[in-house]
Amino acid sequence: MHGMNPSSRMWFYGLTQPLSEAQSEELVQLMDEFVSQWKAHGAQLAAAYQWINHQFLFIAVDEGQQQATGCSIDKSVHLLQEFGAKHSVDFFNRMLVHAQTGEGFSSYSTATLKAAIAEGLVDENTPVMHTTAATLGEIGSGLIPLKESWAARFLYH
């Protein structure tokens, strides 16, 4: 995804736990094939992806070259739904907060995030995955402080 237009449209998919090495290899093979053949109305999309820590998937499309359409986006969603069904994982839980903890990440539901904040495991400066970024430029390093994320409201309850 390096070298892509910063205004490229971006989607984030996160899992509660990292995949196994074999599952990750399978996903990488699927994604390599998918982005190399991804089309909208017959036109090749300028697309790329990044797979991080066997747990987080970023997909980007440079819509300055060719716009992704509803049907083309649906194809990416169906690919991840099928992979998820096969391996009993869910790429579509948008209510998770993925906090960087030491070497890896901990994924929190809103209830477990509140508890982690109360216990001091997570605070306003804890880096979390930027799951709501709409463009590649907006995503930056992929991490933002919890206080700048959609889940910041849980810091003050």
- Choosing from 67, 87, 107, the residue where a domain stops is 87
* Within-domain flag for 92: no
Does the pLDDT value for residue 137 go beyond 70? yes
Nearest alpha-carbon partner for 113 in 103, 102, 126, 132: 126
* Tokens of residue 148, six digits: 């700048």
Position 157 scores a pLDDT of: 62
The total domain count for the chain is: 2
Position 133 scores a pLDDT of: 92
pTM across the whole model: 0.92
Average pLDDT, the chain: 93
One domain for residues 104 and 59: no
One domain for residues 74 and 119: no
CA 96/CA 34 separation, integer angstroms: 26
One domain for residues 120 and 141: yes
Does the pLDDT value for residue 78 go beyond 80? yes
